[in-house]
Amino acid sequence: MRFQDSGLVNDKLVKQAFDYAQDYTKSLATEVLQSYRDLIHADYKDDLDMLKEMFDYGDITEADYEQKKTALENERAAELKEITPDNIPAELEWMFRDNAIGAALEIQRYSDKATTELIAAAMLAECARDPVDCKKIEEKFGPAISGMIAEILHIEAYPAARAENTAASGPDTKRLYMAAITNSFRQAAALVNELQENEKAELPPERVEAAYTEAKTLWGNDKKLDKRLVDVFNKAADVLASSYRMEAGPKGTLELVNSTSTIPARIIPGKKRGGCGDDGF
């Protein structure tokens, strides 16, 4: 992806952050390849365990078991053969577009404080996992940006105190978090474009409730991002046939509403995957 095609503001700092984040994402090639392979092996193990359980309970014969096991092994081998270093760059490109660029565009387009520093930080937040990464970002982009990213790492390092640490973080860090939550629901809605025929598009209640719990601690910090979250979440809920809705309550608080009606998951034929902004959000 070229910077001029990203939709980001034409600014030197933003361009430097774009290049840094893009290079960082490319450096994850070996790790991403291994994660895909691990996922294939994990899926195979789950399917094999289920097959073994069916055999133990007498639901299938030994011959059926061996036949189905061979089919699972062949399926695993075919999937592993498809996952090669040659097709990882395309996946890394989508990661970069969906995560780093997606979050940065949320800030740029919808924050009431869309500074170039904050837009850059939204991309660079995807490039740090530990203090060494933060130090590298500080050396190149300064302490203000690295400080926000360090706050994010601190919050994520202590899950039990996540709400308290998020509430105590700086206003710009909260903006980054709100943009990230919104971007995740924008991506969730866009996933319907990747479904194969007869696959279901769903929004798990546990994901909704976890995001709502976190968003409550960020609510009121940036009115534009608040409104954007509600709009995107409710559009995603429509697309994914969820009974949940987010609303601004009468006292200005964020509320999560679950209708009593049961809405079936949508089944949508596969479509071509879109890029940032191509999903109508």
Residue 241 belongs to what domain range?
10-28+88-267
Predicted local distance difference test score (pLDDT) of residue 190: 83
Q: Is residue 48 in a domain?
A: no
Q: Is residue 191 in a domain?
A: yes
Q: How far apart are CA 194 and CA 197, in angstroms?
A: 10
Backbone angles phi, psi at 238, to 5 degrees: -65, -50
Q: Of 209, 216, 204, 205, give the one whose Cα is nearest residue 249.
A: 216
Q: Is residue 139 in a domain?
A: yes
Q: Of 145, 153, 148, give the one whose Cα is nearest residue 129.
A: 153
Is it the case that residue 198 has pLDDT exceeding 80?
Answer: no
* pTM for the structure as a whole: 0.82
How many structural domains compose the chain?
1
Predicted local distance difference test score (pLDDT) of residue 267: 35
Q: What CATH code is carried by the domain that includes residue 97?
A: 1.10.3210.10
Is it the case that residue 272 has pLDDT exceeding 50?
Answer: no
Q: Is residue 51 in a domain?
A: no
Q: How far apart are CA 76 and CA 15, in angstroms?
A: 41
Predicted local distance difference test score (pLDDT) of residue 59: 92
Backbone angles phi, psi at 71, to 5 degrees: -65, -40
Is it the case that residue 225 has pLDDT exceeding 80?
Answer: yes
Report DSSP state, residue 198: T
Q: Is residue 40 in a domain?
A: no
Q: Please, which residues have CB within 8 angstroms of residue 6's CB and are 6 or more apart in sequence?
A: 18, 101, 105, 276
Q: Is residue 19 in a domain?
A: yes
CA angle, residues 217, 125, 35, in degrees to nearest 5 = 105
Q: Is residue 66 in a domain?
A: no
Q: How far apart are CA 61 and CA 253, in angstroms?
A: 58
Q: Is residue 111 in a domain?
A: yes
Predicted local distance difference test score (pLDDT) of residue 114: 94
Is it the case that residue 260 has pLDDT exceeding 70?
Answer: no
Of residues 90 and 17, which shows the higher confidence score?
Answer: 17
Segment 41-63, tens digit of pLDDT:
999 999 999 999 999 999 999 99
E-strand stretches of 112-225: 200-201
Q: Scanning the structure block, which residue is given the tokens 């933003």?
A: 14
Predicted local distance difference test score (pLDDT) of residue 269: 37
Can you state the percent helix, strand and coil of the chain, rounding each to 5?
70, 5, 25
Radius of gyration for the alpha carbons in the chain, expressed in angstroms and rounded: 21
